[in-house]
Structure 1
């Protein structure tokens, strides 16, 4: 019984005498790719819902999540639902690896000799993970958003938007900082999200394993897939809705090509002020339900896959084959 309490009370993964990053990086990479592939079409719908502004007559082109998905599929077919997925799949590997591994490492470091991690240590670990990931997340989302939003703004009809073309144009015009537009807004969203998500995940995961009504975790040191999946979905849903206003602001700041008549923003405060003044507080929760549908399963799947031990198996295989 004492062994079980130690494995679930301390960290997202049980502390060990040494921290081995390579298997965790592999797990994080695989987890990110699987998760994004499953939920990307919903993410595209979320981006378009958050980006749309009322037309001059006050009407909205997309009336709801379903309406946006239906119109997107009708106009752009199946591949259109995965517009921008290439850059996401490419960069999600280092992004998810950074996020999951840094959080695990910081939790490992903040755990005391008695195997206890304080609430403050859990929050700081999550925030640190969110801070590290924005190095990759900012350019990844900037490029992804241009492609996702092309159909809504009408850009797809006049020119072919590609991640490479957009990146080269930004670097050519503004230098390397061009692909980091919205960096502060991304940091505001991701640091806050991770500070909420990871401690919640650890709590939910611990509760599920402690209850263990199915007996799945009996005699195991590692969380089982189903518990990690459920804990990730619950924590991801709560954290994603909590930071949705920041995500709306980040999305609008990172949208380079506006549709005709749409307002541009000079920064975070300017965006908050203009959105609230023109569209009211409800605008900050646009795509909120859609974001939950993206983030909750994304992190549930990613967290579950992360703990399957694929990375450890790969490393052990190559170690034994030498």
Structure 2
């Protein structure tokens, strides 16, 4: 289609702007979700961000952001292209899409996107959670022999010029990816694929139809588009509703994808094992850990994405650049 690369550019820019704005909140979400009862390092999102800046500097909040920034464009591209593709195929008879069909298209989009999402989040979570583990170790619970401390602090990366006690050497996302591929093959990178599917497919199923219908309410007439603040608000509302709805799956995914465990944190074999252990040891409320953070991350992300489409930055770039000659 003529507009697919436009969609791509819009999605890419929206993704990059979005990730930059909300990444620290996402970091807080990962750390809060990984905390176990009785070993809480952070009380809530703000406390987590303040402590992160204090112990790891401002860039500490952006650990793992490079992975996201690199992969967010292909991820959004796949999701949007897939959603458009399924919508076109489902509306072949010329009739308007029913909500069921909208959900089906969203479902297909969610399934395609996990190809990129799973490894991306796998790497991101290792980088985001490293600081929490370090902080947890510094608590004078048990005297650890120094050997233990350094091995799990290896994941910790320090961007500060000052000396940070717990950073013997920096490890990058590429390094973690290499190690995973080396030790566990490609499936190492796809750990938590099931949980990612259980999270992203329902998310798309809820988000896309909800957005389309909220957005319709703001249209002055069926043929005009809704005002851009309405698109933004619809994106925010649909995004945060969908995010909170699938938060339990997100907690499970974060736990399954975390390779380094703190002292006394159990490991899980698969989704069901994880769900039953969390229920047993931490109760149902644990599944809402990080839900506020997630709503705060997702709402602006989708709001911004919808506005980018609305404003049509992609069209502008394509029409006014040498790129348009290549893409034509």
TM-score, normalised relative to structure 1: 0.86
Deviations 1:125-172 (A, max 9, x none): 111111111000001000000000010011322542310110000011
| Aligned position for 2:207 | 197
| 1:63-110 CA-partner distances (Å, limit 9, x unpaired) | 112211111111112101111100100000101111122212322332
Q: Determine if contact 1:44/1:81 at 8 Å carries over to the other structure.
A: yes
Structure-2 residue corresponding to 1:260? 263
Aligned to 1:177: 187
CA distance in 2, matches of 1:254, 1:89: 19
Question: 1:220, CA displacement in angstroms?
Answer: 7.3
Q: Which runs of 5+ in 1 are unaligned?
A: 1-17, 211-217
Matching residue of 2:9: 26
Matched, 1:271 2:274: yes
Cα distance between partner residues in 2 of 1:66 and 1:191 = 30
Q: Which runs of 5+ in 2 are unaligned?
A: 135-152, 157-165
Give CA deviations for 1:168-218 in whole Å, capped at 9, x if unaligned: 0001111122111111110110011111111101011111224xxxxxxx8
Q: Which residue of 2 aligns with 1:214?
A: none
Trace 1:243-322 onto structure 2 (pairs within 5 A): 243-317=246-320, 318=322, 319=324
User: 1:236 aligned to 2:216?
Assistant: no
Q: Which of 34, 50, 62 is equivalent to 1:51?
A: 34
Residues in 2 aligned to 1:69 and 1:100: alpha-carbon distance in whole angstroms: 32
Question: In the alignment, what sits opposite 1:141?
Answer: 121
1:31–1:96 CA contact under 8 A, matched in 2: no
Alpha-carbon distance, 1:221 to partner: 4.7
Q: TM-score, normalised by structure 2?
A: 0.85
Q: 1:61 aligns with which of 41, 49, 65?
A: 41
How many Å separate the matches in 1 of 2:190 and 2:325? 43
Question: Aligned pairs, how many?
Answer: 295
| Higher RCO, Cα 8 Å, sep 6+ | 1
CA contact (8 A) 1:146 1:161 kept: no
Mapping 1:86-105, distance limit 5 Å: 86-105=66-85
